[in-house]
Amino acid sequence: MYLFFFNKKRKSEKNVLEHIKKCFRAHRNCVFEHIVFCHQTLLYICLNMKKYTIKDIAEQAGVSKGTVDRVIHKRGKVSQKALEKVTRILEEIDYKPNPIAQSLKNNKVYQICVVLPDPKEDNFWIPCVDGVDQAIEEFKSFLVDIKLFFYGPSSTKSFKEVNEQILKLAPDAVLLSPLFQKESINAVKNYRSAGIVVSTFNSQIDLEQTVSFVGQDLYQSGRVAAKLMHTIVPDHHDIVICHFSESLNNAIHMQQKEKGFRDYFNGLKGTEHNIVTLSVDQMNPDRTLINFLESNNKALGFFVTTSKSYNLVEILQDHSHKDIKVIGYDLLDKNNDLLKKNKISFLIHQSPKTQTYLGLTYLIEHFLFNKEIPHTKLLPIGIVNSENLITYL
Amino acid sequence: MYLFFFNKKRKSEKNVLEHIKKCFRAHRNCVFEHIVFCHQTLLYICLNMKKYTIKDIAEQAGVSKGTVDRVIHKRGKVSQKALEKVTRILEEIDYKPNPIAQSLKNNKVYQICVVLPDPKEDNFWIPCVDGVDQAIEEFKSFLVDIKLFFYGPSSTKSFKEVNEQILKLAPDAVLLSPLFQKESINAVKNYRSAGIVVSTFNSQIDLEQTVSFVGQDLYQSGRVAAKLMHTIVPDHHDIVICHFSESLNNAIHMQQKEKGFRDYFNGLKGTEHNIVTLSVDQMNPDRTLINFLESNNKALGFFVTTSKSYNLVEILQDHSHKDIKVIGYDLLDKNNDLLKKNKISFLIHQSPKTQTYLGLTYLIEHFLFNKEIPHTKLLPIGIVNSENLITYL
DNA sequence: TTGAAAGCGCTAACAC
DNA sequence: GTGTTAGCGCTTTCAA
């Protein structure tokens, strides 16, 4: 589609029409269709692009469809003369094969395996399953087969096992949440050497062998949290970066968030806040926290680097403390309740559902329609308060 | 795809396998494929769904493909006996026609026209053009033709003209930004009686004749702004709802936002804020504002209901006022600059690009692949500060 | 009421 | 090196 803008006043309608027709008669791939006048002095002209097929090209070049196909796919066995003639036409009309016809001809059922931590053990992953379900539903009548596998979020062994089993299945692609760096790199290498396409989501992995990553910039999300904290906590109060974690595997995530958080405050002209880091012992979180609070009565803002904000708030509540501000991650039910009750000021949304949904649709549409897969897709960092929460659910 | 969970300990691997095979031998549409053991006590079994074609069904039912097709599309001329036999099989296997084959057979170029206000006159609409461009790019090799039309954002006449011209083009669908209620309802009726599908975005229109609306809940976005204002403006200060508008057409939008904003504060237990509404005369905004500020020195928070926050901030700057907090809408370049400089505290993102992109892809995938179009898609209300701004651009 | 056959655009195997 | 042809799954026309 092209739009051309002319000054309506300069020529009469009829003259313009003639002029345009003459201009575009030469363009073989433009079919003059209609003329539309509207909006102030602008003239809109609609041209339709003719959709060419290999048959058209074959006729134009005086060769057979087979030859055209050989040229398009560079399969050789074409004379120099035919090659030149056909390529010239292809370029001239900017030929793009009909992906629907290609797909039909292809007629292959693509197998995609999704690997993520068991949502029963860490409910951060529940929305990821929803994202997979949505993609399955949306493409159920297409020739794709999506299989879902879980591993224990703190068991490298189960992660290895799952990937070995999937390797045996020999799918066309794997969408992977690479929680464990070392094991993931190994798994990806195995997949790649078996010719299996690998996409990742949520956790980034420093490896060029994956075709795509869908996730969030964790460093930047730390900065976002810091900015929010800065706007809600008055000067001369301490701020606590609080690492709650079930397993040690997301240590890197927490570090990136902490770095972003601290960098934001360090970048301020005169820093009025003292920032301390607190790692909460998962075995005995209450004790750790109470001890901390007793020795630090200036702490007013808490930044929880994982989805465990509710855990912090519950403990704080039991020790009926002053008006402490909490900023955390992830729209878990428990967090959402506390957000509505103003016990949590903001939650940062990592869009887990969108991550798997997008990761999958990229793969599917690539296989079915040759669509390009973006190498890195960083999702917006969602700031959620009690009022826009509902629009994210 | 199905996953079945068993307790691994209960049976030996071999027994389980036999058991499952027996269970599913009856299921004609499940092909037993593989068995996978992993993760704690869970057993995962992968079954592949056979993808049936009308040929398969025809053979099963002992009729021809033509008859099956007649049954599927309820085109009659089928004997009772054949009808029953075929429908039974169709239900049993939950047959879904291959949308790719349907699309190829169909082989029609779908024409879609997009109608929006001229971005040169109001740059809120620039991202909408980007969304259209993205959809065009993504589907350029498919049989769709997308045309873009502009009207003057304050000229009902140009709006009428554009729609009349499009009606002559007789496209398959129109994606419309219905700025003017009355004129839009009329245009939609004309389109519908010409059998043209109409989707809307950005502004809602109380009409059942549109198949889809993509936009945002403006009332709720007012509440979101109020909540943010509440967290950043201390008690006992006045808050100003500030209506800046170029044309009167978005009066309804501004009202909805104001209602949400006021409702939030009215819902608070002891309201500590006095809220006033200020309509800024577009002809002489400086004078209006300066007069207002002189007679109201307790005003600390400003909620701008349109994308014109930059306008307010510019005026405030010239009169070097105290630390006034501004919350506004839309990621225009000017607003973004002020957000980064902390002259604006928050911007609410209405995702204009996503609105047109989604509105278009819904239509396209409906035409090409029979996908369902959601009747209403309300996008998340994005809260943007200086740190997550970049992730939205 | 039914079946046979053509054809959408593209690919690939197979003759020549 | 080249053209012909069959076929992917579905729809539709036409003849029986």
Predicted confidence (pLDDT) per residue in A182-240, tens digit: 999 999 999 999 999 999 999 988 778 899 999 999 999 999 999 999 999 988 889 99
- Which residues are CB-contacts of A369 (< 8 A; sequence separation ≥ 6)? A99, A100, A103, B142
Compare CB distances from B1 to A97, A147, A391 and report the shortest one's residue: A147
The reply to whether the CB atom of residue A104 sits less than 7 A from any atom in nucleic acid chain D is yes
Determine whether the distance from the CB of A70 to the nearest atom of strand D is below 7 Å: yes
Nearest nucleotide, CA B102 to C1': D10
Chain B residues whose CB is inside 8 A of the A345 CB are 231
A234 and A328 assigned to the same domain: yes
Q: How far apart are CA B176 and CA B179, in angstroms?
A: 9
Instruction: Kindly tell me if the per-residue pLDDT of A20 is higher than 80.
Output: no
Q: pLDDT category, A14, cuts 50, 70, 90?
A: low
Q: Number of folded domains in chain B?
A: 4
Q: How confident is the model at residue B46 (pLDDT cuts 50, 70, 90)?
A: low
Residues A362 and A286 both lie in one domain:
no
Nearest-Cα distance to chain A for B287, in Å, is 31
Range of the domain at B161: 107-216+353-378
Is residue A195 located within the same domain as residue A245? no
Amino acid letter for position A374: P
User: If you average pLDDT over residues A111-122, what whole number do you get?
Assistant: 91
Distance from A75 to chain B by nearest Cα, in Å? 22
pLDDT digits (tens, 9 = 90+) for A50-100: 889 999 999 999 999 999 999 999 998 999 999 999 999 999 888 999 999
Q: Are B187 and B176 in contact (CB under 8 A)?
A: yes
- Domain-embedded: residue B298: yes
Of the ranges A59-73, B13-27, B283-297, B319-333, which is most confident? A59-73
The first and second tokens of residue A8, run together, are 């309506």
Same-domain status, B122 and B72: no
* Amino acid at position B128, single letter: C
User: Do B84 and B123 share a domain, yes or no?
Assistant: no
Preferred mutation among B381, B384, B386, B393 to probe A, highest tally of A CBs within 10 A? B381
Write the single-letter amino acid at B373. Answer: I
Measured in angstroms, the CA of A287 and the nearest CA of chain B are apart by 31
Separation CA A331–CA A349 (nearest Å): 6
Q: Is the pLDDT of residue A127 over 90?
A: yes
Is residue B168 situated within a structural domain?
yes
Contacts of residue A48 in chain B, CB cutoff 8 Å? 109, 145
Provide the β-strand partners of residue A244.
A280
Residue B96: strand, helix, or coil = coil
How many angstroms is C1' of D7 away from CA of A105?
A: 8
Bases of chain D within 7 A of a CB of the protein: 1-5, 7-14
What pLDDT is attached to residue B11? Answer: 43
Task: List, in order, residues 6 or more apart from A338 with CB less than 8 Å away.
Answer: A309, A310, A313, A326, A344
Residue A100 in any domain: the answer is no
Q: Per the CB < 8 Å rule, is B1 touching A136? A: yes
| Tokens 């609409």 sit on residue | B125
- Residue type (1 letter), B320: S
Cβ contact (<8 Å) for B51 and A148?
no
Place of tokens 């989604």: B358
Count Cα neighbours of A281 within 13 Å in the Cβ-side half-sphere. 9
Confidence band for A32, pLDDT divided at 50, 70 and 90? very low
* Contact by Cβ (8 Å): B326, B343: yes
Task: Report d(CA B215, CA A236) in Å as an integer.
Answer: 42
- Angle in degrees, CA A146, A147, A152, rounded to 5: 145
CB proximity list for A327: less than 8 A, separation 6 or greater: A225, A228, A229, A301, A302, A303, A304, A309, A344, A345, A346, A347, A348
A36 → closest Cβ in B103, B165, B369: B165
Length of chain B measured in residues: 393
Is residue B245 over pLDDT 90?
Answer: no
Q: Has residue B100 been placed in a domain?
A: no
The answer to whether B103 CB sits below 7 Å from nucleic acid chain D is: no
Task: Compute the residue count for chain A.
Answer: 393
Contact B38 A371 (CB under 8 A): no
Looking at the fold, whether B138 and B254 belong to one and the same domain comes out as: no
The three state secondary structure string of A128-158 is HHHHHHHHHHHCCCCCEEEEEEEECCCCHHH
CB B264 within 8 A of CB B227: yes
Query: Which of B228, B383, B393 is the best substitution to test chain A (most A C-beta atoms within 10 A)?
Result: B383
Q: How confident is the model at residue A46 (pLDDT cuts 50, 70, 90)?
A: low
Q: In a mutagenesis test of the A interface, which of B39, B116, B118, B326 is the best target, namely the one with the most A β-carbons within 10 Å?
A: B39
CA of residue B78 to C1' of nucleotide D15, angstroms: 17
- C2 nearest neighbour residue (CA to C1'): B67
- Quick check: B29 and B93 in contact, CB under 8 A? yes
CATH number at residue B143: 3.40.50.2300
Judge whether residue B222 has pLDDT over 70.
yes
Q: In what order do the strands lie in the sheet with A197-201?
A: A144-151, A110-117, A173-176, A197-201, A212-215, A376-378
Rounded distance between C-alpha atoms, residue B31 and residue B47, angstroms? 6
* Residue B306 burial (C-beta neighbours within 10 Å; 0-12, 13-18, 19+): buried
Q: Which nucleotide is nearest to B53 (CA to C1')?
A: D9
Identify the CA nearest to A211 among candidates A222, A201, A226, A223. A201
Q: How far apart are CA B59 and CA A275, in angstroms?
A: 73
Name the protein residue, with chain letter, whose CA is nearest the C1' of D6: A105
What does residue B269 show for φ and ψ, rounded to 5 degrees?
-55, -80
Q: Residue A247, by phi and psi: left (phi above 0), alpha (psi -120 to 50) or beta?
A: beta
Whether residue A341 has pLDDT greater than 90: yes
* Buried/exposed A356-366: b ≥16 CB within 10 Å, e otherwise: bbbbbbbbbbb
| Predicted local distance difference test score (pLDDT) of residue B183 | 93
Residue A103 CA and nucleotide D5 C1' are separated, in Å, by 20
With contacts defined as CB-CB under 8 Å, which chain A residues touch B226?
A: 387
Residue nearest to nucleotide D3 (CA to C1'): A64
B7 in a structural domain: no
A284 — pLDDT class (breaks 50, 70, 90)? confident
Judge if A242 and A125 occupy the same domain.
no
> Is the minimum distance from the CB of A104 to strand C below 7 Å?
yes
Q: What is the pLDDT of residue A237?
A: 87
Strand partners, B244: B280
Q: Residue B252's pLDDT is what?
A: 84
d(CA B348, CA B360): 23
Q: Which residue of B has its CA nearest to A42?
A: B150
| Closest residue by Cα to residue A258 from A240, A237, A272, A246 | A240
What Å value separates CA A85 and C1' C15? Answer: 25
Comparing A243-257, B17-31, B360-374, B378-392, the range with the smallest average pLDDT is B17-31
Give me the residues paired with residue B326 across strands: B302
Q: Which of B156, B176, B181, B178 is nearest to B166 (CA)?
A: B176
- Residue B340 CA to residue B330 CA, distance in Å, equals 14
Instruction: Answer yes or no: is A385 within a domain.
Output: no
CA distance B221 to B215: 11
Q: Which residue is nearest to nucleotide D13 (CA to C1')?
A: B66
Nucleotides in chain C near protein beta carbons (<7 Å): 1-5, 7-14
Alpha-helical runs (H) found in chain B: 13-25, 54-61, 65-72, 80-93, 99-106, 126-138, 156-169, 181-193, 218-232, 251-266, 285-295, 309-318, 333-340, 352-369
Q: Verify that B146 and B230 share a domain, yes or no.
A: no
Whether B220 sits inside 8 A of A388 (CB atoms) is: yes
Nearest to B161 among A3, A38, A391 (CB): A38
Q: Where is average pLDDT lowest: A270-274, A317-321, B95-99, B215-219?
A: A317-321
Q: What pTM was estimated for this model as a whole?
A: 0.90
Average pLDDT over residues B352-367: 98
Task: Let me know whether A239 and A226 are in one domain.
Answer: yes
List the one residue out of B152, B153, B154, B192 whose CA is nearest residue B174: B192
B153 domain residue, yes or no = yes
Q: What pLDDT band is residue A355 in, cutting at 50, 70 and 90?
A: very high
Neighbouring residues of B183: CB distance < 8 A, sequence distance ≥ 6: B156, B159, B160
Same domain, A135 and A166: yes
More confident residue, B23 or A292: A292
Chain segment B138-170, per-residue pLDDT in tens:
999 999 999 888 898 888 888 998 999 899 889
Residue A27: the pLDDT is: 46
- Reference A243, options A281, A292, A216, A198; nearest CA is A281
Cα angle A114, A116, A122; round to 5 = 150
Cβ proximity of B288 and B196 under 8 Å: no
Find the Å distance, CA of residue A267 to C1' of nucleotide D11: 66
Phi/psi of residue A108, nearest 5 degrees: -115, 140
Mean pLDDT of all residues in B284-311: 86
Which of B84, B164, B152 has the alpha carbon at shortest distance from B117? B152
B89 CA from D16 C1′ (Å) = 27
Q: Please give, rounded to a whole number of angstroms, the shortest distance from the CA of B51 to a CA of chain A.
A: 8
Q: Tell me the percentage of chain B whose pLDDT exceeds 90.
A: 63
Chain A residues with CB-CB distance to B264 below 8 A: 387
- CB contact under 8 Å between A141 and B96, yes or no, is yes
Integer CA distances (angstroms), A265 to A227, A271, A326, in order:
8, 7, 17
Whether B125 contacts B119, CB under 8 Å: yes
Over 80: is that where the pLDDT of B17 sits?
A: no
* pLDDT higher than 70, residue B127: yes
Nearest chain A alpha carbon to B36:
A165
Q: Is residue B224 part of a domain?
A: yes
One-letter amino acid of B132: V
Rounded mean pLDDT, B81-86: 95
Q: Work out the burial of residue B82: count CB atoms within 10 Å of its CB; fewer than 13 is exposed, 13-18 middle, 19 or more buried.
A: middle
Is the CB of B82 within 7 Å of strand C? Answer: yes
Local structure of B80: helix, strand or coil: helix
User: Closest by alpha carbon to B275, among B235, B323, B241?
Assistant: B241
My answer on whether A233 and A111 are in the same domain is no
In Å, how far is B378's CA from the nearest CA of chain A? 7
Band of pLDDT at residue A3, cut at 50, 70 and 90? very low
Q: In 3D, which of B311, B326, B190 has the Cα closest to residue B246? A: B311
* Same domain membership, residue B309 and residue B239: yes
Distances (CA, A) of A292 to A141, A277, A296, B290: 56, 11, 6, 51
Enumerate the β-bridge partners of residue A215: A378
Residue from A262, A339, A360, A391 whose CB has the most chain B CBs within 10 Å, to mutate: A391
Q: Which residue do the tokens 């066995």 mark?
A: A77
Could you tell me the sign of the dihedral formed by the alpha carbons of B137, B139, B143, B149, in that order?
negative
